[in-house]
Amino acid sequence: MEGKEISQAVIRRMPRYYRHLGELLEEGVERISSNDLSRRMNVTASQIRQDLNNFGVFGHQGYGYNVNYLYEEIGKILGVNERHNIIVIGAGNLGLALANYVKFEKLGFVIIGLFDINPALKGMSVRGIPVYMLDELEAFCKKNRIDIAALTVPKQKAEAMAHRLVSNGIHAIWNFVHVDLEFSEEEVVVENVHLSDSLMQLSYNMIQKRQDAIRAEKKTE
């Protein structure tokens, strides 16, 4: 697949396929047609075929998809079966919430440390995950392979912290801070979780729905 750039829109949909296939496996379903998968996921069958074709052809005419095979293949594509070590920068509520998600671990994403500047947290641990002081970061990064850093620090500190992480050899940042980190794409991979943005999108759609309802009422009057 060298040189074939797959769009982020397609990538964004893959975890959802992975999740639904996992649920099908749990339900004991061994194979599924693209039509049935389409109905289940509320996506068109042609979208499914197009999405999956990006990664090679998995379906067979008249047979459909082998659920287990497709699940495993998408898992490989997403790196789910590999072990990824994560550190969380910031042991506030959000950092603690991340550390408490057992689910990530099951997918191979293992949080091996939390870092904070609050001395009251020194020596504490969450689900067996130790909380370190931020000045221990450099030494920790030398001793451990770290794949991903989750960033949950105050906004004003995010940019400097991100660069500090990169200079410690971390090239993937899961950014929860409400700021766009500035990096060249070659340097580092950033995935943003901007909760306020998501809330505003919900707000927009909610307002639209209300206005639609008002308009519909007026028409029937």
Footprint on this chain of a second copy (rule: CB under 8 A): 2, 8, 11-12, 14-16, 18-20, 41-42, 77-80, 84, 92-94, 96-98, 100-101, 103-104, 107, 109, 147-148, 171-172, 174, 178, 180, 186, 189, 191, 193-207, 209, 215
> Quick check: 69 and 29 in contact, CB under 8 A?
no
- Rank residues 139 and 189 by Cβ distance to a second copy and give the closer one: 189
> Least distance (Å) from a second copy to the CB of residue 209?
5
- Rank residues 65 and 176 by Cβ distance to a second copy and give the closer one: 176
> Least distance (Å) from a second copy to the CB of residue 62?
28
> Least distance (Å) from a second copy to the CB of residue 208?
8
- Rank residues 68 and 192 by Cβ distance to a second copy and give the closer one: 192
- Rank residues 139 and 208 by Cβ distance to a second copy and give the closer one: 208
187, with CB counted inside 10 A (0-12, 13-18, 19+), is: exposed
Stated as kind and residue range, the H or E segment containing 26 is helix 8-26
> Quick check: 67 and 102 in contact, CB under 8 A?
no
- Rank residues 149 and 161 by Cβ distance to a second copy and give the closer one: 149
> Least distance (Å) from a second copy to the CB of residue 142?
20
For tokens 């912290």, the residue is: 161
Here the tokens at position 14 are 């893959």
C-alpha 85/C-alpha 96 separation (Å) is 16
- Rank residues 61 and 196 by Cβ distance to a second copy and give the closer one: 196
Give phi and psi for 137, each to the nearest 5: -55, -50
C-alpha 49/C-alpha 37 separation (Å) is 10
> Least distance (Å) from a second copy to the CB of residue 161?
17
Measured at the CA of 16, the angle between CA 14 and CA 22, to 5 degrees, comes to: 105
> Least distance (Å) from a second copy to the CB of residue 63?
26
Measured at the CA of 118, the angle between CA 85 and CA 143, to 5 degrees, comes to: 30
> Least distance (Å) from a second copy to the CB of residue 135?
25
- Across-strand partners of 149? 87, 173
Measured in residues, the chain has a length of: 221
| Amino acid present at 189 | V
- Rank residues 63 and 198 by Cβ distance to a second copy and give the closer one: 198
